[in-house]
Each structure stands twice: as C-alpha cells, then as structure tokens.
Structure 1
Amino acid sequence: MKSISIYPRPIFPLILPQLEHRYKISRLNHRLPLLHLDGAGRSLLLMASLNNHSHNHSHHFRHADSTASPPSSAVAKISHLKAVVLGDAPASEEDDVVLPSHDFSRQALVPSQQKYLEMYKASIENPAGFWSGIASSEFYWKQRWGDQVYSENLDVRRGNIKIEWFKGGITNVCYNCLDRNIDAGLADKIALYWESNEPGFDATLTYSQLLQRVCQLANYLKSVGVRKGDAVVVYLPMLMELPITMLACARIGAVHSVVFAGFSSESLAQRIVDCKPKVVITCNAVKRGPKTVFLKDIVDAALIDSANKGISVDVCLTYENQLALKREKTKWKEGRDIWWEDVVPKYPTSCDVEWVDAEDPLFLLYTSGSTGKPKGVLHTTGGYMVYTATTFKYAFDYKDSDVYWCTADCGWITGHSYVTYGPMLNGATVLLYEGAPSYPDPGRCWDIVDKYKVTIFYTAPTLVRSLMRDGDEASYFSNLYVTRYSRKSLRVLGSVGEPINPSAWRWFFNVVGGSRCPISDTWWQTETGGFMITPLPGAWPQKPGSATFPFFGVQPVIVDEKGVELDGECSGYLCVKSSWPGAFRTLYGDHERYETTYFKPFPGYYFTGDGCSRDKDGYHWLTGRVDDVINVRYSI
C-alpha cells in the first residue's frame, strides 16, 4: 500500500523522549500499561494515556521541564512552544498554543489527537468506505448508489475533469433537513430563531412549522411552472423566507441561485442572464441599521437590464417586509409582480418530494472571477449534503442542545453550507439576524447571544476586528460592550472568510470567549462546499492564526511553481489531491473555464488559488490569494 503522509508527523520526533520520561513516572504512579508501539503511534498513545491520567489542568505552562505535573496535552512539552490551557487563563502574545482542557476534550466528538488521526487515516486510505459509511448511516436515500462510491479525474492530461460521488443514489436535501428530523422526534424543536434589525421584534419556527412553510412555497412555485432543473434567482435579506426559499427549491428539484441582497442591479442582471430563471424572489426593502435599502427597486432595474439582453422573467414574487417598507410605497408592475403574502399562504402545507440523483444540481452560487464575468459555481446534491453536514458536526463539536449563530448572509457560500444546509441536516437550532452587527450599538451581538443563549458563534475576522478596534482607549470601550453581557452560554467560537490575525484571534478568545471557548478557524471556499482545513475542538492544540490541520478526506499539499510537492516546513501554492464529496462539479455553462482555472495550473491537483505555509509542527497558515500570479505566469 502506498505510504500516506499524515500531519502533524513533524511533531513526534520532538516530543517522544519527553513523553517517554513522563510516561515512565506516570506508569509507576497510576499503574498504566506497557506500550509496545514505535514512532508516531507510540507518541499518540503516550499523549492519550498521559492526558487521560492527568490530575493538573489549571497551570499556565511556560517551558515546563519533563518532571512537572502532566499538562492536559503533551504538546505543551515541545521545547519551542509556550502554552495555556483552555479555561485557565487569557492567551497572551507569549503563548504559541492554546491546549484543549481535559473537561472539554472528554465530552468532544473527537476527544484526542489520536482519535482524529485514526479517523483521518481511514478517510484517506479508504475514502469510499469512510464516506459511504457516513452517507448510509446518517441520511435517507430513496435508492442507494451503485458499487462505485466515487469517480474522479483531476488531471487534465488524462481527459476531461470529472468528480462524482454517490452517483445513482436517489435522495433529497430538503427531505433530509426537515422530514427526516421530524420523523426522528424533532417536530417541536426550534429550527429557526429570527431577530429583526430593530430590537424587540423576533420570531420562531419549529421544524414542523418550517416544513409547512416550505411546502406552501414549493407548491406555489410548481403552480407557476417551476420544475426539476429550473433555476430560481433569490434576492432576499436575512429573513426566514430566505432559507424557506432555498429548501422549497430543493424539495421540488429546482436549482436556486441566491444573490447577496446588497449587490448592484448590474450584478444581479448578470446572474439572471446567465442562469435564465423561471422566477425571481425578493422583498420590497430591508433595514440595515438606520438605513433602508430598497431591494425591489434594484430588482426592477435588473429585470429591465436582463430583458434588454434577451432574458425576460415572468414572475417576481415579492415579500412585504413591513418593518422596512409598506406595500403601498413599493413600486409595482402588474402581471409580473406578486405579493408573497397574497398567494403563498393559500397553498397546501404538504408537498410531495422530488427525488433526485446525487449528482443532480442543488444550487448555483456566483463568485467573482479575476477577470470579468462571475463564475457560476455548481454544487450537486448527494456529496454536498453529506459533506456539509459532517463538517458542521465535527468542526463545531455539535450537540443537540446547541443554539447556533452564523453571522454570514445566505448570499455567500457560508450561508448556504453553515446557516441553512449543514446545521439543519443535523437538526440544529439556527439563529438568523436581519440587521447590522453594531446596531443600535456595538453590544448588539452579545445582547443577542444572551437573549437566545447562543452556544456556537461563527463569524468573520472583519467583524471581530471592527468590534475589537485598535488603540488602548478604543479597546477599553469595545471590551465594555462585550463584558457587560454574560455570554456564559458560549462554548465554541468560529472564524471564516479570511485568515484571522493573531491579535484578533486572542481578543476573540480572551474577551468574547472568556478564555474558555475554542476557536474553529476554518479555511475553505465557495468551490469546496465545506471546511477543508480546520481545528476540531477538543482534539488539537490551537495556534492563534493557524487553520491547523485538514478535515477528514482532504489531502492538502503545498507545491512550488513547478508543481513539485514540498515536505515539512515550507511555503508555496496550496493544492488538493484527490476529490472530496463537497467539491463543486463545474462552472455553469463553462466547463472549459472550470478546467483552466482550477486544474490546468498544476495538473493532477485542484488549485485553490491560495498561498500557504506549513510550520515545523505541521500547522497550516493561509497567506492570501495567489491565483492572479498563476494566471499571469500561464498567459506568458
């Protein structure tokens, strides 16, 4: 069998002698068993044994010598690292790592480095067995896929690029999000909390209520001619109607294309022209902080623009967002524009499921290209469903009692994978917030956290930095806006969208999380569908600013300009070898661009367009976009 490189192998030679010495002492004190493994396996078992029998989890370790009381993770013993244990003390600039506490690891889904490596090794050595096991046991399939779990070609020299997972399997994402969870006893569990831009206005939907709303919209869409494979463009703010629309499309096999309700009419028109939707769904207006944004006006302009380019849309379903604008003040085109409230509630609250193949399209999401035309990233059903649900479950250490809040808009991939699909496939309670994070003051986020007892808070470094601010006086007041709220419900934090700089990481950890919440600093892309490199809370020590290690089934490699894989400590271009279930399948209507952009730069690999460094301990550090450099190189 081919040798597989599993990180963080560079750590083991550094810590093995220290572990051996500590284990010899601990074995005498606690009657631990003799170990007969060599190398990495021995190191891992030593770590696990020492961790399980550690009696001191309250020290702030500073280059402790090998005879000190065992810390909660033996990685603290690496001579070049300084560490603090989760929950013991704030992380300072002197601390290189934050170690998971014994209490957190004990209850975690992946409680140790050893468990992670066992699962990761299985996912790489036998991806078909690993992913088919998860797909079979945790999701409903009307019909199981055939003998081949996946098929792939990532090398343009061998023909067209192709990625397929669970092909032949028949399922439905909406059914798995709602019906399956209701059948499992979650009918009365809160599916959605909604918090308005204006304090004091809110709403809730249980899983059974959400299903009814989804079915009503699905039935309406069918009544106006939307069928399996048809596109529906969605230009909605963060109202409950946004995930309702996404799920309704999925239920009937329609392909939704959500456009961030902040893009210009020109950007919206580009997407309408490209995907040729049967219906556009929007609302009349939205309040963002004190400002009113007239969304219907933007849609009207986009529909005129697209019609001038030969693409006309006959139905514009419009939700009346009464807190932002009354319907009598909304511009209207009779015969095309229809008020949501006037038609959708009249339809039946049950709707037959359109069963689809795992490789049938689920949604289109347009991302900006480095030149001109936006790229229509196409995600299919089965692999995306399995991957987003699994990444959500493990990266956030999800528990049934969690209340989850992701501040991303559903107009971005984060809102697809980690507001709607990933959480609801796990039967989670999700919070939606319509407004601005600092309205009416910078304490609004933490007020919401306390109000709903949020346990998992996932946001962007940009928001963290805006709430943190710079300078001693500004930091003092921004900290007050956080600390005047208890935030005691929080147990896991998350970061998405860009690398989080160490100072922002430490503020997020120390101030927001009270030094007791691990941070899942996730790296992934619109194209990847879900997390690719991320810490797993409870398993690995965390380095502020590092995305840590790959998720199950992901094989990241760092290559030089010639495409040669670099080992150990290095910097270069981040690529991925072999496919994973959540990978996008093509760029809509332009497979040639798909191959040229992502697979020609380094044949045999998926090129992420990002630079990456790997340190001596195997941790990954994202360094920013490099795709323009590659584009220039390949155009010469």
Structure 2
Amino acid sequence: MKEMKLYQLMKKHGMMDYDEFHKRSVQDTAWFWKAVEEDMELDWFQPYRQVKDSSNGVPWTRWFVDGKINVAHNCLDRFVKNPDVRHRLALIWEGDDGEVRKLTYQQLWEEVNALANGLRKLNVGPGDRIAIYLPMVAENVITMLAAARIGAVFTPCFSGYGADAVATRLRDCEAKVLVTADGFLRRGKVIPMKEEADKAADLAPSVEKVVIVNRLQRKDCPRNGKRDVDWADLITDVKAHSSEATDADTPFMIIYTSGTTGRPKGTVHVHAGFPVKSGFDAGYMMDVKEGDILFWMTDMGWMMGPWMVFGALMNGATMLLFEGTPDYPEPDRLWKLVETHGVTHLGVSPTAIRALMKHGEDWVNRHDLSSLKVFGSTGEPWNPEPWQWLFEQVGKKRVPIWNYSGGTEISGGILAGNLMKPIAPCSFNGPMPGMDVEVLDGEGQPVRGEVGELVIRQPWVGMTSGFWKDPQRYEETYWSRWPDHWVHGDWVLAENEGFWYITGRSDDTLKIAGKRLGPAEVESILVDHAAVLEAATIGVPDPDKGEAAVCFAVLKPGFVPDEGLKQNLMTSIVEKMGKALKPKEIHFVSDLPKTRNGKILRRAIKAAYTGKEAGDLSSLENPQAVEAVRGVHS
C-alpha cells in the first residue's frame, strides 16, 4: 500500500487516513485538484491564477482559470525531454491477425509531429474539428494527439458505426476532416471501412478531406481524387511542431453519447479537464505507474478508449491497443495478450468475463499471468459468479478487481474500488476523491441502506463543458431536478457498512407494487443459475402492480430452454425476492443487444418488446438481437 501513488499523495499532505483525505478533498475541491495537478507535475505554458470559478453558475464552472496548457505536450513532450524516459514504450498495438507494432515515447512524439504538420497543410487550425473513424490502430492515438497539438478538436467515432451514425456526428460538430481506414480485420474477416466513410462524408457538407490509413492495403478500396488524402502522403514533414498554448478550458475533444431520445449528445472536453481526471483515476486510483502496461478492452469511440490513452500517457505508462476480440482465434486470446505483452492493468467488462467463463479455466491456465497487478471493470453492474471466477480462477486470489463507474460526461469515475481497502464482491468502496457524492430519495433527502438516485453536489475537474452547441439540453439533462446537483441517472445502494452498489440506470429501474427494484437484482439471481450465461430485466405496464418485471435469459451451451427450466428460474427469484416481485415472464433468447464494450442496452430490449421507439441505437454491436427480442412478443 505504501508504494501506491494515492498513499504517497496523502502522505505528502500530512494524512495517513484515507477517510480523512477524502473528506478534505470534497470540503475543499479547489485544494484537492490543485494538489493533484501539482503532483502530476503538469507542464504549463502560463500558470493559472485561480483553481476554480463558478461565477457563471455551478454547471458552467471553469478550472485553472487563465492557465495555458496543451494535453499533447503533457502526454509526450515532457517525457521526451527526459533521456531516461523517451525510449520507454508508449504504445503497443496488436492486430486481429497477430501483427504487432510498438512505439516509444520518442517515436510516438515524432509521428504526432509529422501528422500535425500534415494537418496544417490541409488548413486545419485551432478550433477546427477532426472526426476519427478508425479501428483500434496506432493512427487513432496519433490523430488524437496531433489534433490536440495544433489546437484542433477531435471527435472519435465507434469503428462499428454505419454511415448514417457517423454522418450524424460529422454534421453536428461540422467536421472539416474525416480520418478513416480502408478496413480492418475482425475474427479473421476483412471489414471494409472506407465505403461507409465515403457515404458519411457525402452526407456531411462540412467535410473537405478524407484521410485514409491503409491498414489492409486493399486494392479495391474506393478513391475520391478530390477529397481523399493518403495518410502516408500527409506525414512527410517530420520536423517538430510546437504545441499550441491553449487555454485550460479550450475544447480538445467532443465525444458523443447515445441518448434515449433525440440525437446523440456531444459532450465537450477541455485540455485541463478530461486528461487530468482520467490521469488521476488511472494513476492514483488504479495505480498505473511509469512502465506499467494498461490494456482496456474497448473501442476509441467509447469513453474508455480516450481514457486509456490519457490515463496511460499522463502517467508515463504504456497502452496496449488491440484490434480483435478476446476469444478469437481461440478462447484464450485475451490471456495470451496479457502474457505476450506483460499487461499489468487489465480492463474488462462483466459481459466479457461471462462469455469467457463458459470456456473454462484450462484456457486461462495455459498462460503466465503473473504480470497482472489490477483488474479494472466498468460499464455495467457485476454478478457474483463472474466476479468470483475472475478473482479466483484468473487472478488466483492475488489480483484485486478495481470496480469503476462514471461516464463520458464525467471524464472518468464517480464511484470506485479503493485498492487501499477491503472490497466486497461486485461493490465499490464509495465516491472517488474530489467527487462530492450522495444518494437521494425521491424528495431529495440522503438515504443509506436503500436504493436512491446518485447525485454529485459540487463540480469537479473533467466535468463536461456542456453539450456541443446545446447548452439548454445539458442543463435540462443533468441540473434541472435539484438546484446545483448533477443527477447522473444511476440507481445506487449505499450500505451502512460502507459498500456501494449500482443496481442499474434510474431510467431502467422498475417500480413493482410501489417498490423500486434495480434490474441487476433480478439478473444476479438468474445468472447465478448453472444454466444461465447472461440476463436482462425490464419493466412493462401491469394493471395490478403498475409495473411488472419481464426477464430475458441467454443459456449456456447444452441447456434446453424448456418450461421446466423457466419454472425453476421463477422459483429462484420468488424465493430470494419475494412473491410480490415474481416476474411476469421469462423469455429465452440467443443474444442480448449490447454495445461493443459489452454494455447491455435494456432500453433497446424494452422498446423492442413493447413496440416503442428506442432512440439512438447506432452503438449496438448486434442489432439482430433486437429483432430476436421483438420476435418473442410478436
């Protein structure tokens, strides 16, 4: 524990007790974030004169006022200056086919400089938007840092999007340049990408140039002579390009989140916001240090992609990017990656672990996983069985699971495990330092021992600077329910013993006969059954109870979806939850609608089942699963 960066930060400020440290971090958030910034040794072009300014209202709080900084400079230049660090690996990439590419801090800095020069030749300057529609390749990171270096703003798009979803984002942010690839590999198959990029660019009048990364060297890749530029032709000028001295609150990234209604929300992040928060969360809470190797199974279009980039580079660590899937060509691909590259910090989703569990421990035991120090997890609630399997069978009871929950608008976490404290399975130790968090009932009163609404009572570094060109929607979404309280949309149980649990999104919450019920409570019972691989629960209107639960279960191989099994599962729920909460129905399906990072979209299930509009579903990995749900009720 004494080697942890968090402990060293506490000790530096004369505190040995974590609870005392956390209390001070929320009593004086300006002190806390100044202490973090100084300990991270950020390199400022111009010092800030004030840590925190809420004069325009709490939702529009500014941080590090009048300071000038650049995130690309702080990710690369300050390390390249150090001869002991510049040749350390910054990035490892492995393709679906096993191809590997490695870049040191010096090499990544050189590539970023070359692209920065190339972008300037395309007349991209401060404030211009660059959309990134790429697979998980090194060029993804290079583009992000090059854009930030010249003061431009990048917007990452999920690599699995179709043209319409990409075009929506291009039009909303009025992107000047779209960076894409000829294609990529997924489970051994060529996935064309340029075709979708062309369709998207055709639908977005602001796009002037499409930059092509020739990942596969496809000879049949379509070309648009006037609009297309090859990546190789853009990076010919390798001289150093100095970083733009941007204001601390200058935007550098717009990352879109899917809404339940309407168009996606463009969350705006600034140079001294997202990188500082993600850098703190990774470095001090997950304890990622110089020389560690951070690998999160994600896509750059999801928040955890950029989080991994800045969480690694702001701490002088190494990131691992992986193009493929964790179970291809064999079920041990993920464990092989850990062994091959010496991964120290591995981020996975509960869904991914449930899928790998069914292959058994033999695939795990083939590999030396001794490099692992910490497992990370975010995106959805855990169930006990996969948690225990990861901890006992994979980690051999020596690797802690760092549970982590927040959001795109947060720049990282609200709740997290604490590696300095004991952790209960599937739980969090509570709010993170600097996050003034409470659980409120329907009347806005704090509650313990019962489920309530998760709120944040003070602003924090990394809080989104509103939605792109839509300030009213931002205020209505997060700040309208209780004055100066950020209502996050998570339904949380904070136990008197100090452990916190997320039971689901508050808009997923069921209210059955007057009792609020988080879907995860029912789902945990289902997946505890030997036959069930994964499950989802939704609420549907009921004339007697107001709302009733309907469950969907995916079975493990070898189990038959018959009436006997259904009744067995019903009995388990009734025994553990009570007869009043008995589901109206349990349906067996072959798959559940999920995003690429494994998050189950319950609103998509509910919309399909009830025949209503689901909102934006562009992030779905498997849209056919929606039709399967619709089919059980047709």
The question of a shared fold, defined as TM-score above 0.5 by the shorter chain, is answered with: yes
The answer for the alignment partner of 1:109 in structure 2 is 5
401, 419, 433: which is aligned to 2:322?
433
3-state secondary structure, aligned to 2:430: coil
1:238 paired to 2:136: yes
CA contact (8 A) 2:58 2:458 kept: no
Superposition TM-score, scaled by structure 1 size: 0.77
3-state secondary structure, aligned to 2:262: coil
The answer for the alignment partner of 2:97 in structure 1 is 198
348, 364, 376: which is aligned to 1:494?
376
CA positional deviation for 1:573: 0.7
Look up the equivalent residue of 1:124 and give its one-letter code.
V
3-state secondary structure, aligned to 2:38: helix
Instruction: Decide which moves more: 123-132 or 447-456.
Output: 123-132
1:315 paired to 2:209: yes
Look up the equivalent residue of 1:610 and give its one-letter code.
D
Specify which structure has the bigger relative contact order, considering alpha-carbon pairs within 8 angstroms and separated by 6 or more residues. 1
3-state secondary structure, aligned to 1:329: coil
The answer for the alignment partner of 2:52 in structure 1 is 150
CA positional deviation for 1:348: 2.2
Give the distance between the partners of 2:21 and 2:110, measured in 1 at CA. Answer: 38
CA contact (8 A) 2:289 2:315 kept: no
Give the distance between the partners of 1:219 and 1:278, measured in 2 at CA. Answer: 16
Q: Deviations along 1:482-531, whole A, 9 cap, x unmatched?
A: 11112111111111111122211111111111110011100110110012
CA positional deviation for 1:478: 2.3
Q: Deviations along 1:238-276, whole A, 9 cap, x unmatched?
A: 000001110001101100000011011111010011011
497, 501, 504: which is aligned to 1:624?
504
The answer for the alignment partner of 1:590 in structure 2 is 470
CA positional deviation for 1:344: 2.5
CA positional deviation for 1:603: 2.1
Give the distance between the partners of 1:497 and 1:347, measured in 2 at CA. Answer: 41
3-state secondary structure, aligned to 1:621: strand
CA positional deviation for 1:136: 3.1
1:525 paired to 2:525: no
3-state secondary structure, aligned to 2:414: coil
CA contact (8 A) 1:110 1:536 kept: no
Q: 1:114 to 1:612 in 2, by over 3 A?
A: farther
Give the distance between the partners of 2:509 and 2:426, measured in 1 at CA. Answer: 24
Give the distance between the partners of 1:594 and 1:205, measured in 2 at CA. Answer: 39
Give the distance between the partners of 2:290 and 2:59, measured in 1 at CA. Answer: 39
393, 402, 414: which is aligned to 1:511?
393
266, 279, 299: which is aligned to 1:376?
266
1:228 paired to 2:126: yes
The answer for the alignment partner of 2:304 in structure 1 is 414
Task: Write 1 or 2 for the structure with the bigger share of helix.
Answer: 1
Give the distance between the partners of 1:216 and 1:573, measured in 2 at CA. Answer: 48
Look up the equivalent residue of 2:86 and give its one-letter code.
A
1:389 paired to 2:279: yes
Aligned counterparts, 1:237-636, within 5 A:
237-306=135-204, 311-322=205-216, 326-341=217-232, 343-417=233-307, 419-469=308-358, 477-537=359-419, 539-566=420-447, 568-627=448-507
CA contact (8 A) 1:558 1:573 kept: yes
Look up the equivalent residue of 1:414 and give its one-letter code.
M
Give the distance between the partners of 1:336 and 1:360, measured in 2 at CA. Answer: 29
Superposition TM-score, scaled by structure 2 size: 0.77
Query: Number of residues paired by the alignment?
Result: 503
* CA RMSD, 1 decimal: 1.9
CA contact (8 A) 1:397 1:536 kept: no
CA contact (8 A) 2:126 2:151 kept: yes
CA contact (8 A) 2:117 2:235 kept: no
Look up the equivalent residue of 1:443 and give its one-letter code.
D
5+ residue gaps, structure 2, are 511-540, 542-634
Look up the equivalent residue of 2:489 and give its one-letter code.
G
CA positional deviation for 1:178: 0.2
CA positional deviation for 1:121: 2.1
CA contact (8 A) 1:128 1:150 kept: yes
CA positional deviation for 1:406: 1.3
Q: Deviations along 1:187-243, whole A, 9 cap, x unmatched?
A: 1001111111112x1111000000000011111111111111110000000000001
5+ residue gaps, structure 1, are 1-104, 470-476
Q: 1:628 to 1:438 in 2, by over 3 A?
A: closer
Give the distance between the partners of 2:6 and 2:178, measured in 1 at CA. Answer: 43
3, 17, 27: which is aligned to 1:125?
27
Q: Deviations along 1:544-594, whole A, 9 cap, x unmatched?
A: 11122111111111111222222x322111111001101111010110000
Task: Write 1 or 2 for the structure with the bigger share of strand.
Answer: 2
CA positional deviation for 1:159: 6.0
CA contact (8 A) 1:194 1:431 kept: yes
CA positional deviation for 1:110: 4.2
Q: Percent identity?
A: 34
Give the distance between the partners of 1:411 and 1:294, measured in 2 at CA. Answer: 18
